[in-house]
A and B are shown apart, each in its own frame.
Chain A
Amino acid sequence: MKVLPFSEYAPWLVWLIPLVGSVLVPIVALINKRLRDWFAVVTSFVGAAYSLSMIPQVLNLHGGVVDLKVPWIPQIGLQAGVLIDSLSVFMSIVASCIGSLIMLYSIGYMAHEEGLTRYYFFMLFFIGGMNGLVMADNFLQLFIFWEIVGLCSYALIGFWYRKESAARAGIKAFIVTKAGDVLLLIGILMLFIQTGSFNFLNTKDAVEAGKLATSILMASSILVFGGAVGKSAQFPLHVWLPDAMEGPTTVSALIHAATMVKAGVYLTARTFSIFSSVHEWLMIVTYIGSVTALMTATMALVSVDIKRVLAYSTLSQLGLMITALGVGSEAGWFASQFHVMSHALFKALLFLCAGSVMHAVGTTDMREMGGLRRHMPITFATSMVGVLALSGVPPFNGFWSKDLIVAAVLHERLYIPLILIFLASLCTAAYSFRWLALIFFGKEPHSGESAHLHESPLVMTVPLMILAAAATLSGFFEESFSEYLGLKHGVGIQMAPLTLSLLALLLGFIPSYIVYFRGSVSPIIFRRGSLEAIHKLLSEGYYFDRIYYAIFLDGFPRLCGWIHSQVEDRVIDRINYAVAGAAQFLSQSFRPTHTGNLNYNMSAVLIGLAGFFIIVMVLVGW
Chain B
Amino acid sequence: MIPLNYYLATAIVLYAVGMYCLAVKRNMIKLIIAVEILTSAANLNMISISSYAKPGAVDPLGHAFVIMSIVIGACVVAVALTIAVYAYKHYGTLDVRELRRLRW
Contact = CB atoms under 8 A, between A and B. Distances in A.
Report whether over half of chain A's contact residues are helix, strand or loop; otherwise say mixed: helix
Contacts of B24: 599
Contacts, number: 28
A598 interface: yes
Interface stretch (A362-370, A405-413, A510-518, A589-597): A589-597
B44 interface: no
A599 B26 contact: yes
Interface residues of B, number: 12
B103 interface: yes
B89 interface: no
A598 B103 contact: no
Interface stretch (B45-53, B62-70, B94-102): B94-102
Contact of A597 (B19, B25, B100, B102): B100
Interface string A577-616: 0000000000000000011111100110110010000000
A599 B99 CA distance: 12
Contacts of A594: 103
Interface residues of A, number: 11
Nearest to A595: B103
Interface string B5-28: 000000000000001001111100
B41 interface: no
A599 B23 contact: yes
B84 interface: no
B37 interface: no
A50 to B, nearest CB: 77
Contact of B31 (A595, A598, A606): A598
B96 A598 contact: yes
Interface string A47-67: 000000000000000000000
B43 to A, nearest CB: 19
A596 B23 contact: no
A560 B92 CA distance: 62
A602 B22 contact: yes
Contact of B102 (A596, A606, A609): A596
Contacts of B103: 594-596
A609 B38 CA distance: 14
Contacts of A599: 22-26, 96-97
B35 to A, nearest CB: 11
A596 B19 contact: no
B97 A605 contact: no
A602 B19 contact: yes
A603 B100 contact: no
B38 to A, nearest CB: 10
B97 to A, nearest CB: 6
A81 to B, nearest CB: 72
Contacts of B102: 596
Interface in B28-87: 31
A598 B100 CA distance: 10
Nearest to A596: B103
Contacts of A598: 22, 31, 96-97
Nearest to A607: B23
Top 5 nearest A-B pairs (CB, nearest first) are A596-B103, A602-B23, A602-B22, A596-B100, A603-B23
Interface of A: 594-599, 602-603, 605-606, 609
24 contacts: A594-B103, A595-B103, A596-B100, A596-B102, A597-B97, A597-B100, A598-B22, A598-B31, A598-B97, A599-B22, A599-B23, A599-B24, A599-B25, A599-B26, A599-B96, A602-B19, A602-B22, A603-B23, A605-B19, A605-B22, A605-B23, A606-B19, A606-B23, A609-B19
Given A598-B96, A599-B22, 5 more contacts: A595-B103, A596-B103, A603-B23, A605-B23, A606-B19
